[in-house]
Amino acid sequence: MNLEKVDKSRFEPKRPGSQDIAWCPGCGNFGIRNILITALAELGLNPNEVAIISGIGQAAKMPHYIKANGYHTLHGRAIPIATGVKTANPELTVIAEGGDGDMYAEGGNHLLHAIRRNPDITVLIHDNQIYGLTKGQASPTTMKGIKTPTQPWGVFEEPFNVIALAIALDASFVARTFMGYFRESVEIIKKAIEHKGLAIVDIFHPCVSFNKVNTYAWYREHTYWMDDHDSYDREAAFKRAIETDPLPLGVFYINEKPTFEELVPAYKRDKTPLWKREPKVEEIRKILDIKRRL
């Protein structure tokens, strides 16, 4: 495909409310939007085939700034909702999107169980290592020592290492990128979307308003690309996952396994999305007949 020629405009929303973008000027969220739109367009998808389910936070406003089916839901709940969407209609390309607070704090439990359940959805975490929308409190990925209005003594909790955690749980696809690297990020997100099974992509992005430590320059200086890494080697992936400085970027781990939708009884014989189905009255009659006998 000639990538220069791909028409991204079909993902540009023209709705009145989508024109007033609520992100701060200079925020990394703009870059992620551009990356996502590019990835979707390059994959040849259409807006009505895609559903973006977000939680709450600055990152979670994405469904309003892209033309695609969207559901802006509750803090931490994007993953179960996205799972429901995908399971009801496996023909859709489903993306769950939110910030690090959204996905790792409030939604942490759902993330763990989504890894076990393995629905074929892509989870994009805008990881700015801070809470944006609520104005700069520490998030689960805020680094130790950083002072915030609500941690004036400096964060002393261990930051959450989602990459190591996901590999430990034998997740299906685990990657990390920094939105400052456009082309690489597009490729990673395309791979994640194309991957069959739960794909987790932790996306570093600066919060210019509240995170004065993890800036564009900081991410460039403290990350590197894993060029010589075998993503199918779990042990090697885990070793990379626990490196801290510099932080590796790229696809850490791929583990191909059946998805949730493939295993639920609903789709074993019949792939029709649930909305097209009718109740099986004959099966009810059968049960009632058994209840008539003994």
Ligand X SMILES: Cc1ncc(C[n+]2csc(CCOP(=O)(O)OP(=O)(O)O)c2C)c(N)n1
Residues making contact with ligand SF4 (CB under 6 A) = 23-24, 27, 29, 58, 128, 132, 207-210
Q: Which of 101, 96, 122, 92 lies closest to 200, judged by CA?
A: 122
State yes or no: residue 12 binds other proteins (CB under 8 A): no
State yes or no: residue 7 binds other proteins (CB under 8 A): no
| Cis? peptide before 246, omega within 30° of 0 | yes
Question: Rounded distance, CA 47 to CA 11, Å?
Answer: 6
Tell me the window of 87-95, 175-183, 213-221, 229-237 that interacts with other proteins (CB under 8 A).
87-95
Residue window 39-58: x/- pattern of binding to other proteins, with contact defined by CB under 8 A? --------xxx-x-x--x--
- The least distance separating other proteins from the CB of residue 131, rounded to whole angstroms, comes to 17
**Are the C-beta atoms of 97 and 53 separated by less than 8 Å?**
yes
Please give the biggest Cα pair distance in the chain. 75
**233: exposed, middle or buried (C-beta count within 10 Å: 0-12, 13-18, 19+)?**
middle
Question: Rounded distance, CA 249 to CA 176, Å?
Answer: 5
Task: State the binding partner of 72 from ligand SF4, other proteins, ligand X, none, CB within 5 to 8 A by kind.
Answer: other proteins
The partner residues of 235 in beta bridges, in order of sequence, read none
Pick between residue 109 and residue 244 the one whose CB is nearest to other proteins: 109
Task: State the binding partner of 180 from ligand X, other proteins, ligand SF4, none, CB within 5 to 8 A by kind.
Answer: none
Q: Which residues bind other proteins (CB under 8 A)?
A: 15-18, 22, 47-49, 51, 53, 56, 61, 63-64, 67-74, 77, 80-89, 91-92, 109-110, 112-113, 117, 264-270, 273-281, 283-288, 291-294
